[in-house]
Amino acid sequence: MENRSGMLYPMMVIAAISVILFSVIGIATMTGHIPNALSDKKDVVVAEQQAAKDAAALKEVEAAKAVREAEAAKAKELAAAKDAEAAKQVAAEKARAAKLATAATGTAAPRYVPAAQRTAAVCRDCGVVQSINTTEVKGKGTGLGVVGGAVVGGVLGHQIGSGRGQDLATVAGAVGGGYAGNEIEKRVKKTVNYVVRVRMEDGTVRSVTQSMAPGVAVGDRVRIEDGVIVSRG
């Protein structure tokens, strides 16, 4: 009997402790202490998961923004390159047009000219004689040659033949004599003009016509003053 009583006592102690533990757990559960602890842990896990999702979303947004900025910068560089190329082409076209215009007009690019040369180039009426030609201008008849020639011709014609033939010869002699007399009078009163061609210092050629001999020769340096050739020595 004593042995059985000794064995039951520890069992009763264990049972009592178990009852106390279950009671404590039950009371804690009923009062909400145990569920609150589990709930707090769950909330922490949910918050951590949400934070991870937000961080991932923010990273995606920043990555997309970086891509857009890179594309915008690249597009800006391409636009600037196109503008530069267009400006280069416009400048090339202008240079080509200016070159063609210069070639068409035959004008050379301006160059520096020393003061001495600029002073010498001021003389626009100076040049060198290229050629000297003469032209004859017949004089005008006054009628005296016609009358005189007609008289002489009529007299000479009257000496030819007799009768009607003599009359015809007289008329023919008068007409021919009048014409001849007029031509003789024109030749007697003819004038000689001198045409002088001068190569000017600016490259042009001028012709000067004068009634008196110019007094210069081909190759002489001359000046044109009031339409007259003057030697420069």
Indicate whether 173 pLDDT > 80.
no
In whole angstroms, give the CA distance from residue 155 to residue 169. 9
Average pLDDT over residues 148-176: 48
- pLDDT for 86-116, tens place per residue? 888 888 888 888 888 777 665 555 565 555 5
Indicate whether 226 pLDDT > 80.
yes
Average model confidence (pLDDT) across the chain: 71
pLDDT for the residue numbered 158: 46
Q: Which of these CATH numbers, 2.60.40, 2.40.50, 1.50.10, 3.30.70, describes 124-137+192-233?
A: 2.40.50
Average pLDDT over residues 115-134: 76
The domains of the chain are located at 32-106, 124-137+192-233, 140-189
Average pLDDT over residues 26-53: 65
